[in-house]
Structure 1
Amino acid sequence: MKHDDIWRAIDSLAAENGLSASGLARRAGLDPTAFNPSKRIGPDGRARWPSTESIAKILSATQVGIEGFAALVSGQAALPSAPRGPRPGVGRRVPLIGFAQAGGEGFFDDGGFPVGGAWDEISLPEIPDPHAYALEISGDSMEPVFRDGDMVIVSPSSPIRRGDRVVARTRLGEVMAKELKRQSAKRIELRSLNPVHPDYSFEIEDVQWIHRILWASQ
């Protein structure tokens, strides 16, 4: 059981209940910042683990058993007992901005969830994550999978594993679509699919957030 798997399970549990990580903490009677990304790695770069008490409280608040939480830790599909949002086939509107806008201030909160009223909107089929949003690809670093002008649907709450296509934002405001090559307690390595473009490696504290790409227009 890895540090990242536990935190991904908490994020997934929050999403399955239509909450952000801070919303889940609040529902469980915890400090709303208890599950913030900044609390997951210490100032010295060492991994911070959630307490067993806090996990027990969120499971009680969401009426999920330890078996269900273990399923989320292992990366299995959404829990059957959890709310799933709109019914299959029912359209849903999600926020949409371009990569240049995503690098600006006022579009995301500290946890990387979309906020504010300056987003455009598009309609799409069911997306399980209530915080999902859409980005328009800029550049050719991910060709031939993603091309300039393609639209991708991004999920802040979905678990991320090596090999997933992701969108990452750095502390300097740079936003990029890449493939997750490797993530440790100290570094994140991202790969460009287009061999003309370089790969990237960041200290963990230099990455503001990293979200999984669920779907892309072609």
Structure 2
Amino acid sequence: MLKHTDIWRAIDRLAAQHGFSASGLARRAGLDPTTFNKSKRTTSDGKLRWPSTESISKVLDATGASLSEFVTLVGDGTGTNPLQRVPVIGYAQAGSAGYFDDAGFPAGSGWDELLFPSLGDPHAYALEISGDSMEPVYRDGDTIIVSPAAQIRRNDRVVVRTRGGEVMAKQLIRETATKIELLSINHAHPDRSIPLSDVAWMARIIWASQ
């Protein structure tokens, strides 16, 4: 399972590869120099914090490193670095018949793939975003990684597919015995309330590469 410390370690290694401290790398990427400080890696109450996908995107741009190269820096320092092949599916394809089984797992083979640190879910997959319905959080061309096995909690960002083939990425506000209530990421689009009987599957968004 991917851990907070894995990603922070990869940032530290990327900085060292290019002759920077973590704060120097942040400055080079146009970020606040304290962005990657040790104190920023936990919340005030001691909970672990993820680096933002925007900050990772900026340091990759600043160093010229690709996402795949960044992934190779994620590991436990013991020489092992388990990677997982994650199928990449177009957002439009996700709503088409035959691309997913009844459990919400990608069906068939021949997908494009990306390498990612082991996610603890062999059925995890990536969706390529198209359109503006999820701006400003996710933009056209971004890729989100979805885990059907991940536990879903209130306020998680999720991908939902209806039995009619509609696919949407929203924030889960509430789930009752009869329906799910979803908040639109782009507030120009309406929030949704969907009967559970109309939901084919729902899976949590666990990562975004931008």
TM-score range, shorter chain: 0.5 to 0.7
2:138 aligned with 1:131: no
How far apart are residue 91 of structure 1 and its match?
A: 2.5
Question: Is residue 107–residue 118 contact of structure 1 (8 Å, CA) maintained in 2?
Answer: no
Higher relative CO (CA 8 A, sep ≥ 6), structure 1 or 2?
1
CA distance, structure 2, for counterparts of residue 198 and residue 183 of structure 1: 18
Matched residue pairs, number? 132
Counterpart of 1:110 (choices 102, 105, 128) is 102
For normalisation by structure 2, the TM-score amounts to 0.60
Aligned to 1:168: 160
2:146 aligned with 1:151: no
- Which runs of 4 or more aligned residues in structure 1 lie more than 3 Å from their structure 2 counterparts after TM superposition? none
Aligned to 1:4: none
Does the residue aligned with 2:93 lie in a helix, a strand or coil? helix
CA distance, structure 2, for counterparts of residue 149 and residue 190 of structure 1: 23
Q: Which has the larger radius of gyration?
A: 2
Aligned to 1:178: 170
How far apart are residue 146 of structure 1 and its match?
A: 1.0
Aligned to 1:53: none
Aligned to 1:202: 194
Unaligned runs of 5+ in 2: 1-74
Does the residue aligned with 1:92 lie in a helix, a strand or coil? strand
Does the residue aligned with 2:92 lie in a helix, a strand or coil? helix
Does the residue aligned with 1:139 lie in a helix, a strand or coil? coil
CA distance, structure 2, for counterparts of residue 117 and residue 107 of structure 1: 10
CA distance, structure 2, for counterparts of residue 194 and residue 111 of structure 1: 27
CA distance, structure 2, for counterparts of residue 144 and residue 112 of structure 1: 26
Counterpart of 1:98 (choices 84, 90, 101) is 90
How far apart are residue 109 of structure 1 and its match?
A: 1.0
How far apart are residue 118 of structure 1 and its match?
A: 4.2
Specify the code of the residue in structure 1 equivalent to 2:141: G
User: Residue deviations 1:158-200, cap 9 Å, x none?
Assistant: 1101100000000110111111111111011111122111111
Aligned to 1:48: none
CA distance, structure 1, for counterparts of residue 156 and residue 132 of structure 2: 18
Aligned to 1:191: 183
Question: Is residue 94–residue 134 contact of structure 1 (8 Å, CA) maintained in 2?
Answer: yes
For normalisation by structure 1, the TM-score amounts to 0.58
State the percentage of identical aligned residues.
63
Deviates more, 1:183-192 or 1:88-97: 88-97
